[in-house]
Structure formats: structure tokens, C-alpha cells
Amino acid sequence: MMPIQIRMILWLGFLVVCTTPASVFAVDEIDYVRDVKPILKTHCFRCHGPLKVESGLRLDTKSLALTGGESGPALVPGNSDASNLVQRITGDDDSRMPPEGERLGDKEIKTLKKWIAAGADSPANEKVEDPRSHWSYQPILRPEPPTVGDGEWSRNPIDAFIARKQQESQVVPRPLASRHVLLRRVYLDLIGLPPTRAQLRAFLDDKSSGAYERAVNSLLASSHYGERWGRRWLDVWRYSDWYGFQNQVRFSQKNIWHWRDWVVESLNADKGYDRMVMEMLAGDEIVPFDPRNLRATGFLVRNRNTDSREQWIRDTIEHTAKAFLGLTMACAQCHDHPYDPIWHEEYYRYRNIFEPVQVGIDSGGGGPTGEDLAGVARIYDRNRNAVTKFYIRGNDRTPDEKRKITPGVPQVFFEWTEPESVQLPPKARIPHLREPVYKQTIARMEYDVRQSEQAVLAAEKYLAATKQRLAKSSTDHSTPAADTFVIEPFQEMRGDVWKQGRGKWDYSNGHLAQTLVNEQRDCYLEAVRQPPAKFTLRLRLRITGGTEGLVGVLFNRSKDGSRGEAVLLSVNKEKPGLRFFFEYGDERHFYDKYDRELPITTGEEFVLRVDVRDKLVNVYLNDLLQQAYEVTSGDSGDLRLLAIDASAEFYHLRIDSLPDDVPMVPARTIPLFAPFAQLDKSHPSHMSLAGAVIEQSQLQFEVNKAQLASYQATWAADSWKLLNAPPKEDDNATKSHKTRLDELALVAQVAQRQLTLAQSKEARFKADHELKVATAQSEVGKKGDEKEVEKLVKALEGAKKKVASTTKQVETAEQALKDPPMPKYQGLSDNYGSSSGRRLALARWVSDTRNPLTARVAANHIWLRHFGRALVGTVFDFGLNGSKPSHPNLLDWLAYELMHPSLVLESNGADVRWVEGQPATRPWSMKHLHRLIVTSRAYRTASTPDEKNLAADPDNHWLWRMPPQRMDAETVRDSVLAVAETLDKTRGGPALPSFDGMSVPRRSLYFHMSPEKQMAFLKLFDGADPTECYHRHVSIVPHQALALFNSQLAVAQSRVLTRRMSQQFSDTNTFIQAAFEQVLSRPITEKEFKICRDFLTAREEVYRENGDPASVTSQAIKVDQPSIDPRLHARENLVHSLFNHHDFVTIK
Amino acid sequence: MNIQHQMQAYSLCRRTFLADAGMGFTGLALGALLQEDGYSAEPVKSQVPAKATSVIWIFLAGGVSHLESFDIKPALDKYAGKTFDQTPFKDFLDQEKREKNLMGSGMSVPPRKELMALNTGYRKYGECGLEVGDWFSHIGECADDLAVVRSLWTVHPNHGMQLTWHTGMHVRDGAQPTIGSWVSYGLGSLNQQLPKFIAMGKSIGGCCGGEFGHGAAYLGPQYAGVKISTDLKNPLQFVKPYGTGVTAEEQAAELDLIGQLNRATGVEYPDDPDLRARIRSYELSAGMQIAVPELMRLDQETTHTQELYGIDQEHSREFGTQCLVARRMVEKGVRFVQLYHGAGSAGTWDAHSDIKKRYNKEAPKVDKPIAGLLKDLKQRGLLDSTLVVFGTEFGRTPGAQGTGRDHHPQGFTCWLAGGGIKGGITHGATDELGFYAVENPHYVTDIHATVLHQMGLDAQHLAVPGRKRIDIHRGQTINEIVE
């Protein structure tokens, strides 16, 4: 068996992302710097280095090792076995080193021994390296841009830094990109959409100076800028819509799209980066009751993981540190950070900041029914005193109970200001005091009142209809007038009635049988015609086998199958009876709460009756009412006979329209009708049920009215008390405030007592009926076995007790109302309490201009997205294990300029340059940085290669050219729509279903995005991984070709565009040129023109020969088919091909 | 390190460098494509001599009972109904012992104290006399081709283990390269019209890794399993043009135009790797449009072959189809075919209750198809070069959980066949009750290392700079089962 060791190694698995391989090769000559020091660094420096000097020993230079610590020198040059170091790393007792984690490998030990044995040589000038002196931990100063002469590289400090490096590295920058290339580049970069043909032409025609800068300004002012860069930041900030198990939210949260909208709006408003970070971390503590602000905390909400609170907090720690600080904090979870000066305990201190958090949704004044779309998913401190435990070796099973953890940040950077608890104002503590929430609640309650009023009317109507029917039935036994939709005796296949779907359907022996079982998918027969919207259906059938054993009808099914409702008979041994489900999108949800468990078995014959009117469904089995419920959608649709892993025989089906005067049992009356099971055959029992339904609905009506009144009275008292309190020192005002409060409190108390009475009456009514059910069941069950009888007797006793207790409650409530009222009432609930202020302290520390990491990390992310390559390659790791900046001074200059903008763009005739001045932008303005970058010479460089440069700098390290990039996923999709001029520019709102992505022309960032539901098209083009995406991968795979070649998006949009353009450009030559300009935003070359011209000629020929009509004047053709006109058809092929051109998806 | 080894390491290093650098640069991400296209100087050489050219990786989701499949324990019948305390195995339920290798909190499974008799019969098969439960009698007929590893153990007693089975890492480590993606990453293509790594069947549930089960994580999406459905109508996303009326001739003409225009645009960008890769991707996509539907042409197979895979029977049709398509893929040179069975949520093999009824239903869905696959590969001479792996995330408890058995990570079984694996042997063992892996215990990644080894790759040297995996994530080749 693998020993404990393994477990420990596995725990160290957390380390994996942080550790680098110690590349150890057997070499003859041992070199201290190359071979020895890295080993010591990996295994020893953490405790015996500049940051921690355990036992007085340091091993970070050879001379320090020789000096040694409490146990004497670590080395005896020339004698490895006598060296303390070797003894410790090879020992087996408690003194072996390192004390935790993997021991040194054999090769490593060999290397060290060999080095010592050979005399332990080292360079004489070895210096102490202190990780605290790492470049990114130093304060950000403003480096002076180098002087690079007076040329075109001198007009923007960015260029000075770039040009200096190029000069040093002897690469020669490529010339300026041509203007059309540049315009497309900057459009796609800043707004994620290519220029239209008109925009392109206008720009090319504008030869005046500053034309480019003006274009940049208008792009930055466009609201599309926020969408483009919002999506980019959402990569870094891990945007994900909710996901989980079926419709259960387990990760992230519903309504988190409010945060996405906040990001877009904040960017468009050029809110400072510092402010954005602060609001994301602590929006609820900064401006606690402003829902617009609360949206920002979606950043933290996104980490929610209901499966594991541990994982939730771990993700929060890891990703706040990676996103804002470029720190790999997660490494310090099990031990001190192996590279960076972050202690094991600091990890837990940092964790303590987030320990209190919880996720909530503040209702937000949306509509009274359905999802509360306006509700904001937000973070709050649930327990401001939450304690963090220090986990020994990061194992949550071994917490160190003694160690007390206080909130903190890594000490190495700069001190933070200790958190102070934040007293939340009443409006923040109690969302109901906020106007929209109050309004929303009132609206919902008023809706409930109206609903229950309607229910009373429906119940009365039910009674009236029943009476009428009763009167009529004494003389006339026919059913009310109805249109027969179908009578199907299942004698033979009738193609005019049924379309056969999956399954094995046969007509024989005078019935229809379905015999395919053990199929995971449904077997079905679909009615050719759509049944009436309101119908009554009677199906005589027998289930003969199958494991799931579910057979029934699917109705209200939409054409695309994305919606439908089903009633099923089940002979499944685990759940026999009636079952119900609805379908939404590609998911199926059973209404478990409506299940009717009935002792039915294989081989029995049943008559299933389903009455459907609007959303109301009544289900009968052998004429006994079994269920009355409301479906999710009342929209009518197609009908199917359905068999789910079941074989069945069908004998008769009849569907009639359901006249409005046929009584239907209202929904949610389940406990009521059980005693009246023989409903359909006995009109008197119908009467009796109707009476009960009326009583119940009236009681419900009373409850709802009392609820509204009570809420209003409580709200009035609370808001007077909490929002209108006068200053304490004003005695008079305090007195009159109290008088008014007492009045309101009296009203509130009476209203609350009335509510209690109404509720207890309703409870008593329910108890009465449950007793009736229990009595009836115990009558029937007397014949059953002993256990069963015992159970029924118990249930009966319980029901009796409940009647007694509810009766008592009613009496108490009645008495209370007789008592004189007092100014005491139950206030609105205090949802949020006070906040610990820990996150606010963190937010201030992160966004402080003294923080050496924040601005550098942000500037690097921005640079990466403009140039397709970052200045620091490891964008989320600026620590000692991260990569070094290619242009350290440039990065610092950008970071400084981000925090303290100091340049303005000056235009003096043809000379456009950045000079010192007072920019109109605020500190931390991202638009300022974008403007600086995209107007730089470096950004405007051509992307064409050059042999000499390629040889000198193949990776384009020194930016001698603009790296050509493939559009990211969203840009591909959005550009297709933009080019076709069909893009719906509506901004914001709830996430759209991802399966609509090929047909709904909204921008890509508005579609549902989560690990489970990501639009296939976007995924294929390397769309962001919603779990982590600091840097997008880019691939070129055949699936992308298929997606752009065959998808509805590409095919339909190219046809739309062709047909529209053809109306404008009937001349073929002009059309070809215009198509190039429209799709690729560039002029066509002669060679390309010839290829296209030949193609069109050849295609037209083919289509004509194939017998297509010579010309078609009417264009009433759908986009799912090519045009009939050969000329148009050929043009569609051309435009579609241009969408698949390398130059379409490439940003040059 | 000998020179040859160094050379191989170098070539792989270059390869990994190409892929890694590609995180920032599209062009360089195309190591494999370029190399297959003849643009890259060195082909990726095998690190060790390859025995197999393709893998068919079968995964049964939910945790198949090892006790009633390939690690039969007659002692269970003997002690059935007794508690552990009433047997010589009193100490087996000791908490510390049971949970020794488990990871994280809340990870244990309650002890199932009362031993449960076998729920199926069993008998010996083949010359080797391998005992196999009756649920897998067809596979039993292939006993002499199987190497059964009976001593697997793992750290995760829950279904997150489904991901671990494929990545070798804990589910909370999230997306990591899967075994198939390493093969795809490490080896060149044998067919220019098809992807190297294809996955079929329903992906594992969102609880347990979802699409990560055939992902490539940091190796890059081009190495991930391409999901191909055996829904004969729609085997590949976007494989057919939208709408109606588009002819193949028309598509070919367009592809030709795209090729011409792309080549014409390259003037200013000579030798642009992106451009070449895109041209190549359009060519491959055209190939896939034809080759993928062609794979699904099962009408090209004889009735006898279809019957061999159980396609003629309702219950085994679906998985039989997958197995047969897998064989057709292997014939066309696909490197790694991953077949999921019973996946989605916990998995259909998760028999907490009514194990008898459940396996009576589940086993016939796969038994004949898998046996058919082995027999068919063998008769076509493909078994020598095709490695078939039969796996699941863990076994099931010897103790009863009502009428079922609970999750059991302390000892369980998988088997391998073909591709240079010894036939007719068992390796490793659990104790008399099938509780602990006691003889030659193997962590699940040893299966990965063995598969890679047979494909000519050395698990120890498959790595991407900056993405270190520790030993246990890589595993070690099980030399005893290798020919």
C-alpha cells in the first residue's frame, strides 16, 4: 500500500502551478551558480534565506553557509559526509531537511555532495539576493522617456521607449501600416467591429491632419467601446453566468449579468480603474444602498460555489490576487510561497478578509411575476466576525485551532490601513426601505391579491358551471358543444393524422403498438395538425413493458422543440402513477411536486384524460380526477404521443376542443379533491368540491389582502422610525417623532394581528381537509396489512391534532384582536446587518497609488490586448517566478501615466504629438491610456514581415512590426453581423440563450456564458474559458473553418448582404470591389479582382446550365436557400467566401 | 542520458515550446499542423519504441463493481450477511486505514458493515481461466487477450473521480490535459482528413468534470477530443451547410476560391504560418465533411459484423454503434478514440440500490459490443496495433448498502487488451474480500503511463514548461503487463 507520504505529495499538488522543474542533468563539472544554487533555492531558501533565518542559518550565499547557524557551519569544503547540510538532507530522523514536503532527489543530493567534495567552489563576488528587491515590488516611479531624436518616434513617449530598445537590438521597425489596414485594426481593437464601407471611404478620403486621431476619439466615445473592452476585462475578471445541476444554481448566480452591464457602463463613462476595482471588491461597503454600485460586486459573486465553501473562498483568494495584483497567492495555501515573500500565515490573513462573505439577490423593482430580472446579485458580509482557521499544510482536515488569524495583506508591499467595521445605514441593512424594493414588493403583493381574487371568481365560476351542468344532466346527458379535432381508433397508419418519429410503431390486431425499448431517447408519434389551444383529450392505452415505463402525451410543443409540456402514465416500479414535466431549451424538468403516486402496473388498461385550458391542466385517470396544475407556458403547440423507454398499446384517442363553459378544477387545490375522488361521475360531489374550493380561495384572498395591509403598515412605521429620526439633541422633534411613531406602530400591530388571524384560519381549513383525507384513507385502508393500517391510524391521529392546534391558533388570534392594541410591532427584517470593512480596507490598499503591483498589472493587461502580446508574459504572475518585462521602463511609465495622467495630444498642422499638460481625464483613466497607445507609432506599424528582422528577432520581441492577430471569438461573430449590417445594437440586459447565437443578431457578450452553456460557435473560436482566462489561447483548427463555412450565421448573413448590395451595385465589377471593401475593409488588388471575376462568370454559367431561370425579378426567397437568380447565387458564393477569407478573421 | 534520448527530449522540447509560445502567437501554436504539413523541420519522434498506433479508451461512468466483473470474490458468498466484526477482517473498517489515501474534507464514505453476497454468477474463461461475472460473459470469451489489473486505488471516493480517471489529477484542479490529449499532442496524425483524438457518447456530468473529460487544458484546444456524435444525422458541429439547396459542387468551388484568394493575399506575408495553417484547416475541414459522415456509413458493414457488435439488438445498439464506429476510426488512423458509457450526472453504473436490477439492465448494453470490438479487431489483425482500455472511476464496496453497493476507491479493477499488452494475465490483487489493493498496488495514472508507453511516449518526459506535474500525476508504466 502507498503510505502517508503519497497523501502528502498529493496535497502538494496544489503547488503544481507554482513550481518549476529543477532541471538536473548529470554533468561532470559541477558549477555552483548553474547547478548548486538552484537546488538550494528550491529547497532551502524559504527558511534559510533573507526572509526567514531559521536556527540562525542562511544558505543564500556560500559564505553565509560557511558561517553557519546554531548547529555550526553547514559546509565542510572537501568533505561532504562531514557537512551538516548533507547529513540533514540525507537523514531519516526528525532532523531531516526539508522538514515538510518532498525530500531532495537522488540526483540533487549527488550534485551537492560532489560540489562539496570538490571543495565547494563559488564565485568570489556572490551577492545576497533579497526577494523583496524584486522589480515589481518597488514603488512605481516615472521613468524619463529616452531621447530618440526628432523623428516620428519622438512624438509619443511610448515610442521613445520602444525605439530605444529597437536601436539597441538592431531591428528596424516596419513602415507605417497603410491607412485602410490601420483603420480596420483600430476599429476592431477599440469597438470590436470593423469599419463599414462608408466609414472606410470617408477615412481614406480625409487627407487632413489629425484624421486618425479624430477617428480614435470617436471610437473611444462610442458605446461599443465599453462592450469591446468590457468583454476583455470580463475575461480577466472571470465572468460566468450561473451554472449548476439542471436548473439548480450551484456556481455564480442568476442576474449576474448586471455586473457585466456595470462593467460596460463604467468603461464607457471612463470610470477610473482604481474606482472600478474598489467597487468590485467592496461596492456594498462604499455606497451601500445604491444598486447601481452593488452590481460591481458581481466580481465576487461569481466565485460562489454551493458545492464547497472551501473552494469558493479559495477561488476568491486566488483570483483577486491574480487579477489585480499579479500574485499567485494560492501557492501559499500549504506552506510559505516558494518564490515570493508571502508567508503561509499571510494566505490565511488574506483569506480572513473574505471569510464573512455571502451572496444575495436584492429584489429590484422588476415585474410582479416570474424572475426578478432587476434584482441585483450582490455580495455582503453575513457574519462580520467570521473566524479563519489556519490549515496545517493547507489541509482543511487539520486546522490549527490555537492560531488566531486576523485580516491582513502580504507585508512585503506596504502597510494597509486596518479595517474598521462599516455601519450600514438602514436602507442598506433593510432593502425593503429602498423605494424600488418596496414598490416591487407591493406590486407582487397586489398581484397576489388580484390573483387570489381571480381564484375566487374562478371558483365561483366552477360552482356555477357545475350547478348548470347538474341541472342540465337531469334532462340531457350529452357533453357541452365541442368541435372534434380527431377520433383515432388506431386501426391503420393515417399519414394525414400522424408523422412517425423515433420508435417502432406498428398497427396490428386493431391497435397501435410501440415496441422499441431501452432507448435513452423518446419514442414518439406526432400529430400532423396542431390541436386546438383549449382541448380535452381521452387516450385509452396499456403499458406493456420497458424499464422507465413512461407513456403519455406531450403538448404545447413549440416547432423547434425548445418548449413543451407532458403528462405521463408511469409503471416504473420506483415511481408508479402520474408524472409531469416541461421542456425548456434542451433541458427537461419534472414537476416533482405534482407527482401522483398510484399503484398501477404493466398490462393494465387505462383511460387517460387531459383537459387543457390556457395554463390550467386537469388530469383524470379512469375518470377520477388526479391532478389540477398550471403549466409553465400556456402557449399552444404540437402534440405527440410519447413513450420513454416503454412499450405500449394504444386503443383509442379522441381530442375535442374544450368549451369555456366546461368546468375545470382550479390549480393548487390538491388536498381538496382527494376526498372527492369520484368526481366526474358524481355531480353532487363536484358541488361539494366547488364549495370547498370557494372557501379555500376566499381564505387565501383574505390572507393576501392582510399581507399587503400588514406590509404597508409595517413599512410606514419602519421608514418613519428609521429614515425620519430627528437629531437626538432636538427634544421637541424627538417627542413629536415618537408620537407619530406610536400611531403608526398601533396601526402596524393591528394589521399584523389581522394577518395572523387570516393565516391561522387558512391553516385550520387545510387541517380540516387533511383530516378528511386521512379519514377517507383509513376507511379504505382497513383491509391492508398491519403496518399499513398502523401508518394510517397514526396519520389520522396527526391530522386530528393538527385540527386541534390550528383551531387554538384561530382562537388566540381572535382574542389578540380583541385586546387593546399596543404600539409594538414586528419590524421589517434586517437582511444585511453591519459589514466588517475588511474588503473595503483591501480595496483601498489595492487601489492605492503606492501599491506597486496594481497599476503595472492593469497597464500590462491593456497593452496585451492592444498588441496581442504582453510586456510581462505571465500576466497573472508578476512575482519572482513570473517572466521579466520586455520593456520595464515602458511598463512603469504606462503604469505611472495611468495613475497620474500628465500628457495631452497637441496638433500643430501636420505635427501631432503628446506634450506635458493638463489632460481632461481623471486619474486612472483607461481611455487616456488607450488613446496614448493607439496613437503611438509602434501601434501604427505595418504587420508585414521582414527577413532581416525575422532573423534577428523571430519572436518580434522588440515590436518591429505589429503582430498580426486572429480575431477573438466574439469579434468574429460580431463582425459577420456588422458587415452584413444586421447587428442589433441594443445594449445590456439579461443573458440571451446561448443556443440562439446563430440567429439572434445581438452582440456576443450578451449571450449566456458559463462552462456548461457556452455558444458552440464562440467556443470553437477559442472563446474565453469562463473558469479562468487571463490570456486567451488562439488556435487554428478545422472546426473553425466548418463553423464559418456552414453555420447559419455565415450562410444567412452572406446572403442578406449579397442581396442588399446587389440592389445597390448591379454592375459586376463595382459589386466585386464593393464586396471587398464591405467584408474585408480594404481595396481589392488586380489579381484578386480577376480571380473573383472569373469565379462569378464560372458560377453563373454552372447555375444557368443547371436550369436556373435566367433572371428572377421577385426576391421572395428565404435566407435558408440560395437565390434562384444565377447571378445573385454566384454573388452569394463570392461574399460567403470572403467571410471565410484569411483576411476576414485576421487583424493585420 | 544517452545521445538518442537527449535528441528525443530535444525534439519534444521544441515541440512543447512551439505549443507553449503559441499562447501569445497564433502561428506558433500550430506545432502539430505545421509539422504534419511538412513545414516543421523535425517530426515528433517516438520517445520509446511504439507498440500501438491507436487507443480505444472505454469509460463506464458511475463506478462498476469490480467484485462482480473481473475481480470475483467467492469469500463474499461465504461471509454474506455477516458484519466485518464477525469475520477475520475486523480491522478493515478502521477509519484511519480506510481513509488513509482520501483527499480533502467530507470525503469519506460511511462504512458498509454487512457483507453482501455476489449478485451474479461467474465462471472461468479461456486458457488462462480468468474468472468473470456473468454480466460480462461475452467479454469473458476474450479472456486470453486481456491483462486485468486488479489493484487500482485512488484518492477520491466520489464521482469527481471520473475526471481524475482521465487527467490523473483531482477534480478540484479543474481542467488538466487528459490522456487522449497527451497522445494527440505527442504524436503525429495518420490521416489528414480526421482529427487525432475523437470522443463519443454522452460527456461526463457537470458535477464530475463535464467536457474536461476529453479536454486538453493548457496543451491547447487543437489537442482536445473532437466530440463526434453517433447520431448518424449530425456527427459533427457545422458539418453541413445551413438551410437547403447548397450542393457539394458549389462548396468545392467556394473552397477553391478561398484557397486562391488566400494564396493571393500572401504576397506581403511570405511564409506566414497562420495563413498556411488556415489554408490547411480549410482543406482538413473539407476532408472531415466527407470523412466523418463516411465513418458513420455502417451499412458498409456486413450483417454478421453488425450482429457481432450487438447492433441488431435494441439494448446494445447504441454502444455497439459507438464501438463499431471506433473500429472504423482506428482503421482510418485516428490515434485516440474515447467512448463514454452511462455518463451524465453520477453515471448509470452507480449502483447504490438494486444493483442486480441495474446491472441486469446496464451490462447487456456494453458486454456484447465490447467483446465484439475485441473479436473484430483481432480477426482483422488490428488488435496488435490497437490498445483497448476498459475503465471506470472506482469499484464498489464489499459491504451492502441496502440492495446495492457504495463507492469504493481502496481497490478496484480495469483491463487492457491489444497494442502490445500481454494477454490472459492478471496483475496485482485485492485482499480476499476485494477491499484493499494489497499486491502491486497502482494509482490510476499508472494506466496512463502504460498507455503512453505503448504509444511510444514516455510519461515522465511529457511536459510543458511551466506546467510541472509531480510523479503521481504522471504515473509509471506497469512493466509486468507489457509484452
Nearest C-alpha of chain A: how many angstroms from B226?
Answer: 9
Q: Searching chain B, which residue's CA lies closest to the CA of residue A1140?
A: B258
Nearest C-alpha of chain A: how many angstroms from B79?
Answer: 25
Task: Write out pLDDT tens, residues A496-514.
Answer: 999 988 889 999 888 999 9
B contacts of A1137 (beta carbons < 8 Å): 254, 257-258, 261
Q: Searching chain B, which residue's CA lies closest to the CA of residue A955?
A: B25
Nearest C-alpha of chain A: how many angstroms from B299?
Answer: 19
The pLDDT of residue A745 is above 90 = yes
Least confident range from A165-169, A353-357, A599-603: namely A599-603
Chain B interface, best mutation among A1042, A1100, A1118, by max B CB count within 10 A: A1042
The C-alpha atoms of residue A163 and residue A938 are separated, in whole angstroms, by 8
The C-alpha atoms of residue A224 and residue A1005 are separated, in whole angstroms, by 11
Chain B interface, best mutation among A24, A1036, A1117, by max B CB count within 10 A: A1036
B contacts of A9 (beta carbons < 8 Å): 470-472
The C-alpha atoms of residue A976 and residue A1003 are separated, in whole angstroms, by 11
Task: Write out pLDDT tens, residues A789-829.
Answer: 888 888 899 999 999 999 999 999 999 999 998 889 999 98
The predicted pLDDT at position A369 comes to 56
Residue among A963, A1039, A1138 whose CB faces B25 most closely: A963
A contacts of B467 (beta carbons < 8 Å): 16-17
Task: Write out pLDDT tens, residues A929-945.
Answer: 999 999 999 999 999 99
The pLDDT of residue A665 is above 70 = yes
A contacts of B343 (beta carbons < 8 Å): none
The predicted pLDDT at position B101 comes to 82
Task: Write out pLDDT tens, residues B55-102.
Answer: 999 999 999 999 999 999 999 999 999 999 999 999 998 877 887 888
Residue among A517, A1042, A1098 whose CB faces B285 most closely: A1042
pTM: 0.75
The C-alpha atoms of residue A235 and residue A1025 are separated, in whole angstroms, by 8
CB contact under 8 A, A1042 and B155: no
Whether B399 and B109 have beta carbons less than 8 Å apart is answered as no
CB contact under 8 A, A963 and B437: no
Nearest C-alpha of chain B: how many angstroms from A1033?
Answer: 5
Look up residue B407 and give its DSSP letter.
E
The predicted pLDDT at position A365 comes to 57
CB contact under 8 A, A10 and B170: yes
The C-alpha atoms of residue B96 and residue B104 are separated, in whole angstroms, by 14
Whether A1088 and B261 have beta carbons less than 8 Å apart is answered as yes
The SS3 of residue A390 is strand
User: Which A residues, 245 through 264, put their C-beta within 8 Å of a C-beta on chain B?
Assistant: 245
The predicted pLDDT at position A901 comes to 96
- Per-residue pLDDT tens listing for chain B (483 residues): 333 333 333 233 333 333 332 222 222 223 343 344 333 323 344 567 899 999 999 999 999 999 999 999 999 999 999 999 999 999 998 877 887 888 753 455 678 899 999 999 999 999 999 999 999 999 999 999 999 999 999 988 888 899 999 999 987 677 899 999 999 988 888 888 888 999 999 888 766 877 789 988 878 666 888 888 777 667 788 988 999 889 999 999 999 999 999 999 888 888 787 888 788 788 878 888 889 888 998 989 999 999 999 999 989 999 999 999 999 999 999 999 999 999 977 899 999 888 999 999 999 999 999 999 999 999 999 999 999 999 999 999 999 988 999 999 999 999 999 999 999 999 999 999 999 999 999 999 999 999 999 999 998 888 876 576 888 899 999 999 999
The pLDDT of residue A740 is above 80 = yes
User: Which A residues, 960 through 979, put their C-beta within 8 Å of a C-beta on chain B?
Assistant: 963-966
The pLDDT of residue A13 is above 50 = no
Task: Write out pLDDT tens, residues A979-990.
Answer: 999 999 999 999
User: Which A residues, 228 through 247, put their C-beta within 8 Å of a C-beta on chain B?
Assistant: 243-245
The predicted pLDDT at position A1110 comes to 46
Task: Return the amino acid letter for B259.
Answer: G
B contacts of A25 (beta carbons < 8 Å): 1
The pLDDT of residue A670 is above 70 = no
Secondary structure (H, E, C), A599-650:
CCCCCCEEEEEEEEECCEEEEEECCEEEEEEECCCCCCCEEEEEEECCEEEE
The predicted pLDDT at position A186 comes to 98
The pLDDT of residue A592 is above 70 = yes
The predicted pLDDT at position A393 comes to 79
Least confident range from A160-174, A1134-1148, B95-109: namely B95-109
CB contact under 8 A, B468 and A21: yes
A contacts of B250 (beta carbons < 8 Å): 1099, 1122, 1133
B contacts of A949 (beta carbons < 8 Å): none
Nearest C-alpha of chain A: how many angstroms from B127?
Answer: 31
Q: Searching chain B, which residue's CA lies closest to the CA of residue A954?
A: B28
CB contact under 8 A, A1142 and B101: no
The pLDDT of A832-847, averaged and rounded, is 95
The C-alpha atoms of residue A412 and residue A72 are separated, in whole angstroms, by 30
Which pLDDT band, with edges at 50, 70 and 90, does A345 fall under? very high
Q: Three cell numbers at B158?
A: 466520489
The predicted pLDDT at position A520 comes to 64
**Beta-bridge partners for A630:** A616
Task: Write out pLDDT tens, residues B164-187.
Answer: 999 999 876 778 999 999 999 888
Whether ipTM tops 0.90, in short, is no
- Run of H or E residues at A592: none
CB contact under 8 A, A1033 and B29: yes
The pLDDT of residue A711 is above 50 = yes
**DSSP assignments along A434-472, one per residue:** SHHHHHHHHHHHHHHHHHHHHHHHHHHHHHHHHHHHHHH
CB contact under 8 A, B438 and A1141: no
CB contact under 8 A, A965 and B250: no
The C-alpha atoms of residue A564 and residue A561 are separated, in whole angstroms, by 7
Least confident range from A38-42, A1060-1064, B127-131, B422-426: namely A38-42
The predicted pLDDT at position B1 comes to 31
Number of inter-chain CB pairs under 8 A, A vs B: 241
Task: Write out pLDDT tens, residues A393-451.
Answer: 788 878 999 999 999 999 888 889 999 999 999 988 898 898 888 888 898 899 999 98
The predicted pLDDT at position A87 comes to 87
Chain A interface, best mutation among B20, B192, B196, B238, by max A CB count within 10 A: B238
Which pLDDT band, with edges at 50, 70 and 90, does A1109 fall under? low
Percent of chain A scoring above 70 in pLDDT = 92
A contacts of B315 (beta carbons < 8 Å): 518
B contacts of A1091 (beta carbons < 8 Å): 257, 260-261, 264
The predicted pLDDT at position B16 comes to 35
CB contact under 8 A, B284 and A1041: yes
Burial A615-630 (b: 16+ CB within 10 A, else e): ebbbbbbeebbbbbbe
CB contact under 8 A, A1088 and B265: yes
CB contact under 8 A, B238 and A1043: yes
Which pLDDT band, with edges at 50, 70 and 90, does A392 fall under? confident
CB contact under 8 A, A1121 and B244: yes
Least confident range from A84-88, A113-117, A467-471: namely A467-471
Task: Write out pLDDT tens, residues A1000-1047.
Answer: 999 999 999 998 788 989 988 989 988 888 988 777 778 899 999 999
Neighbours of B159 (CB within 10 A): 25
The predicted pLDDT at position A849 comes to 96
Residue among A26, A944, A1038 whose CB faces B281 most closely: A1038
The predicted pLDDT at position A682 comes to 52
Q: Three cell numbers at A400?
A: 490549527
Which pLDDT band, with edges at 50, 70 and 90, does A685 fall under? low
- CA A736 to chain centroid: 51
The predicted pLDDT at position B215 comes to 87
Task: Write out pLDDT tens, residues A103-130.
Answer: 787 888 888 888 998 888 888 888 777 8
Residue among A516, A1027, A1039 whose CB faces B314 most closely: A516
| Mean per-residue pLDDT over chain A, rounded | 88
Using CA atoms, how far residue B259 sits from A1079, B266, B275, in Å, is: 17, 11, 10
The pLDDT of A376-390, averaged and rounded, is 92
User: Which A residues, 510 through 549, put their C-beta within 8 Å of a C-beta on chain B?
Assistant: 516-520, 547
Alpha helix (H) residue ranges in B89-152: 95-99, 137-140
